[in-house]
Amino acid sequence: MNKNYYFSSESVTEGHPDKLCDMIADAVLDTYLEKDPDSRVACEVIATTGAVTLMGEITSNAVVDIPELVRNIIREVGYSGADFGFDADLCAVNCMIGRQSDDINQCVTASYESRTSGCADTLESQGAGDQGLMFGYACNDTDSKMPAPIYYAHQLSRQLCKVRKEGKLGYLGPDGKTMVTVEYKDGSPARIDAVVVSTQHKDAVSQAEVRGGILEHIVKPILPESMLDKDTQIMVNPSGRFVKGGPCADTGLSGRKIIVDTYGGFGRHGGGSFSGKDPTKVDRTGAYAARYIAKNIVAAGAASHCEVQIAYAIGVANPVSIHIDAFGTAAVPEETLMQMCRELFDLRPKAIIEQFGLTKVKYRNYAAYGHMGRGDLETPWEKLNHVEDIRRYLKGKS
C-alpha cells in the first residue's frame, strides 16, 4: 500500500434528490415488511420538478397507501411549502409497480440445492435473489472501523440536517453535500486537508452569513481540532449561491449514491445498490455480511485493513466464491483468513437474514448517512461478536 497520500470522500443530506429517493424507496420497503415479512420488494424511485415516480416489482399480502407514504416522507425531509421549490402536498406521485417475476420468485423460494439434491436444511432452502458480487471493508482509521474521510463527511452531513431541523440556522434548506479530504502519513490519517460544505439556503441570506453559521454550528462541533491546522482549506458553498435545490434543481434517482452508502471510495464496490430491496436480494444482504466479517477481522487484530468479497449465483444458497484482501496488513496468510471465513460464517442468504433479523430492520434509518459504521443505531452487521471466535481460530492455526 502507498502509505503517504490524500483521500477524499463525500456525503449528502437526506434532502439531496438522490437521497430523498432512497428514503422513499426504503420507507416503502419498511412498510411492506412490517405488514408482511415475506414481502418481495424491489422499489426504484425517481424525483424531478413537481413529480415522484415509483417503479419496480412488489409481491406481498400487504396493502400500502403508497402516495400517502411518499408525501409523508417528503414532508418529514423538509420539502413542504414553496420555500425550496418542491412541495409534498402539491407534487404528483406516479406508481408504476408490478409483481415480482415468477421465474425469480421460484428460484429464491426453492434454492438450486433444494431443487437438485432435496436438501432438508431450511437455511439452504432459499436461494440468492440475484447473481452479483458484494464487498465489505474495515480499517483502523476510526473507532467505528470506517475510513476517516467518509466517517467525517457523514458526521458533517448529519450535523447539517440536525441543525436545520432544530431551527438553529433558519435559512438552511434540505439539500446539502459535504466532502472531506484526509492526508495519510505512514498509512494512518494525520490531518484534514480540505473540507467542503454546500448547503441549500433561502434567497435573502448572504453568503457571509451562511459561511459563519456553517463554521460555528457544523464544522467546529464535528471535526476534531487535532485534525485541523492553518493549512486546512474550509470551503462553504464554493459555487457562491445555492438557493434552488432538491428535485426541482437536479433529478433524483434511488440507488445512485452507492459509494456514499458504503465506504466513500475506499475498497471496491460490486455495483449493486441497497435502497428499496428486501433482504432476499444479496446486493443488500451480502454487502452487510461482508462488512460484518471485515469489521470483526480488523477488530480481532488479524489485519489493519480488510476487504471481503462474496459472490452469489441467482437461486443458489451457497456463495460462488469468497475472497479476502488485507492489503499486506494481515497477521496470517490471507488463505487462512478465507478458510476461517468459510468455517466461522454462514453466508447463505436465509442464514444472514435470520442472524441479523433483516426482516425487522428499519431500512429507512440507513437510507441517509451510510449503511456502515452507524454507531448511532443498533446495527446488527456492525456488532463485534465474532472477535473472540476469530482469535481462537487463528491461535489454533499458529
Q: Give me the pLDDT at residue 131, please.
A: 87
Instruction: Give the mean pLDDT of 392-396.
Output: 91
- Does 352 have pLDDT greater than 90? yes
Give 358's pLDDT tier (boundaries 50, 70, 90).
very high
Whole-model pTM: value is 0.94
- Does 120 have pLDDT greater than 90? no
Q: Give me the pLDDT at residue 105, please.
A: 62
Give the C-alpha separation, 325 to 345, whole Å. Answer: 17
pLDDT digits (tens, 9 = 90+) for 256-276: 999 999 999 998 999 999 999
Q: Give me the pLDDT at residue 115, please.
A: 67
Select the more confidently predicted residue: 128 or 371: 371
Domains belonging to the chain, first-starting first, are 5-12+148-244 (3.30.300.10), 17-120 (3.30.300.10), 132-142+257-272+281-397 (3.30.300.10)
pLDDT digits (tens, 9 = 90+) for 133-161: 999 999 999 999 999 999 999 999 999 99
Average pLDDT, the chain: 93
pLDDT digits (tens, 9 = 90+) for 62-109: 999 999 999 999 999 999 877 788 999 999 999 999 987 766 666 566
Q: Give me the pLDDT at residue 84, please.
A: 80
Select the more confidently predicted residue: 216 or 120: 216
Give the C-alpha separation, 389 to 150, whole Å. Answer: 29
